[in-house]
């Protein structure tokens, strides 16, 4: 995958745009560290592209939650155990005034 520096983006935007059109994706770096993924977009489909990116982020977050659950051993809890934890947590929280 193509790597583009912030400096390149600032000083040579045309070349970056052309490179992105050829490569279809690139990693934007600052001081040698990745900071963003660049994707070419079409004005007619930008909302669909953003929706796809958001779904991918959601899936990655779900994977991280599952890994953490396995690491902590909570992935083996039964539904009854989970319900008991929820009940205890709700009871321990201070009640807010209705209104």
Q: What is the pLDDT of residue 19?
A: 87
Residue 66 has pLDDT above 80, yes or no: yes
Residue 39 has pLDDT above 70, yes or no: yes
Residue 99 has pLDDT above 70, yes or no: no
What average pLDDT score do residues 63-88 get? 93
Q: Bridge-partner residues for 27, per DSSP?
A: 3, 37
Instruction: Name the percent of the chain lying above pLDDT 90.
Output: 72
Which letter does DSSP use for residue 75 in this model?
G
Which letter does DSSP use for residue 5 in this model?
E
What average pLDDT score do residues 31-53 get? 92
Rounded alpha-carbon distances, angstroms, from residue 47 to 21, 26, 88: 19, 20, 42
């Amino acid at each position: 995958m193509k790597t583009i520096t912030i400096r390149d983006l600032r000083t040579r935007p045309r070349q970056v745009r052309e490179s992105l059109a050829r490569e279809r994706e690139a990693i934007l770096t600052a001081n040698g560290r990745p900071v963003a993924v660049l994707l070419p977009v079409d004005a007619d489909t930008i909302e669909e592209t953003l929706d796809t990116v958001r779904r991918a982020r959601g899936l990655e977050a779900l994977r991280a939650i599952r890994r953490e659950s396995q690491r902590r051993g909570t992935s083996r809890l039964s539904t009854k155990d989970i319900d008991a934890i929820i009940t205890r947590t709700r009871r321990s929280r201070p009640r807010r005034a209705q209104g």
